[in-house]
Amino acid sequence: MKVKKGCNSTDAGVPVTTEEELLANTVITPEDVLGLQKITENYLCGPDENVYNIDFTRFKIRDMETGTVLFEITKPPSTGHNMLLFSSTASYLDVRTLGAALVEFTVGDMPIDNFRMIERHYFREKLLKSFDFEFGFCMPSSKNTCEHIYEFPPLSEEIMREMILHPYETQSDSFYFVDNKLVMHNKADYSYSGGP
């Protein structure tokens, strides 16, 4: 299993881009999505662009300090796009270091060089944190596991209260690239009010 620590992308020097501009591009690069200033409303690529047949089959999120499992899911039936609704309690917002302890994915019959994920978390239209993970090389027809370590900045009491009071207004875009070309885009909405 690979363990990868995500860097906090500061996006310094990256030109601002809009979703509309990116949807007009024939190729979307990591630098393109780093310029986004808010959550996307649409998917920036279709399921048919995943020519490598990358399929995320399982992941588990845990508190790195205590080892407590906070969330675990296995792959639901495929709908083409992946949208996750994540529900937890307010205490989740106090965790500073998370490990997606078991990220499990399979790869089709082509090898993958330079597999990279950029994940951007927003509350309303404010960027909370941007993560950048390198998966590296993946062999064809392989099942892979790795751990991503997420270090979150402290949030003000006011922001946390607003995030709890407004379920599913905390959102993320996860962009997956092979050789600097977008091949997958997943989205998630989060609730910290303790219910679905």
Report phi then psi at 57, rounded to 5. -110, -20
> 177: which residues sit within 8 A by CB, 6+ positions away?
29, 30, 114, 115, 116, 117, 118, 183
From CA 11, how far away is CA 8, in angstroms rounded?
9
pLDDT for 158 equals 95
pLDDT for 78 equals 59
How many CB atoms lie under 10 A from the CB of residue 121? 20
Q: Note the pLDDT tens digit of each residue in 14-49.
A: 889 999 999 999 999 999 999 999 999 999 999 999
The full set of domains in the chain, from first to last, is 4-191 (2.70.50.40)
pLDDT for 96 equals 59
One pLDDT digit (tens) per residue for the chain, 196 residues: 343 444 444 455 688 999 999 999 999 999 999 999 999 999 999 999 999 999 988 888 887 788 888 777 787 655 555 656 667 767 767 765 665 555 889 999 999 999 999 999 999 989 999 999 998 899 999 999 888 887 877 889 999 999 999 999 999 999 999 999 999 999 999 898 875 4
